[in-house]
Structure 1
């Protein structure tokens, strides 16, 4: 099996108010939390009629550049049935804007069903009180998204998820 290029991978959990960010080591072995980024909901347009780069996208793009990221994985929230809804469309739009900003670094969408529930369970198991989950839950979900993608990479020797065109 051919090996994937070396480089950190980023995991992104897009929420309504906050975005969780996680990163891996350059060998793609372990996902770790990085930070929680405030979400920008209104995307301004440029003078040419395109979409301006928002602070949240710019922050993640900066992190990708700083870490020499090989790929960015964005969680794709689907219903348990597998169907897509409003949150899915929002994540797809965010991923497309991010892909334009980080190109030529590839962006992939990966299924994130149940990641927030799993993140809450992990935090409870670690002894964190539920009231203290809010500041870190998005990062914990991003870690789960990224670790799943890393596991898929190791199993298949290919990138996980659906490629997003820049």
Structure 2
């Protein structure tokens, strides 16, 4: 089982997939800040996740900016808390836009949408990583080495 993590400045969306790695679904929104890594480590243990896919925000041209650097730093700290080679960064271009669109189409609006959009974006991210792995036969994204 894998977890998908969409790191924002205020909230962290978390999604999970089924044991076969076929379908991703929203799981939880974690408040960013003190205790966020603890909660993610708890979710990893609770769901017996073998891998965590963290979204790497890049521009449409593929360039990395401040948000990508923040995601890389967060992923490094998360990897430092978990077993080696269990955290990967994966391109998350347009995941939040796709999640917002899907929620609007599903009739989820206003505060209700804000409460779950991060989880939905994490599910879009994780689904893209799972689909990419099935298509290529290679693990998604890049391995993150732990940092403190």
TM-score higher than 0.5 here?
yes
Aligned residue for 1:123?
Answer: 103
SS where residue 140 of structure 1 aligns?
Answer: helix
Distance 1:105 1:56 in 2: 20
Residue 57 of structure 1 is matched in structure 2 by 37
C-alpha separation between the residues in 1 aligned to 2:19 and 2:8?
Answer: 26
Q: TM-score if structure 1 supplies the norm length? A: 0.84
Cα displacement (A) at 1:100: 0.8
- TM-score (norm: length of structure 2): 0.94
* Equivalent pair of 1:70/1:105 in contact (CA under 8 Å): no
Q: Would you say 1:21 and 2:14 are equivalent positions?
A: yes
Whether 1:165 aligns to 2:134 is: no
Aligned residues: 146
Off by >6 Å, runs of 4+ in structure 1:
none
Give distance in 1, aligned partners of 2:137 and 2:119. Answer: 26
Task: From the CA coordinates, give the structure whose radius of gyration is larger.
Answer: 1
Aligned: 1:152 with 2:145: no
Who is 1:49 aligned against?
Answer: none
1:131 and 1:35 mapped to 2: Cα distance? 16
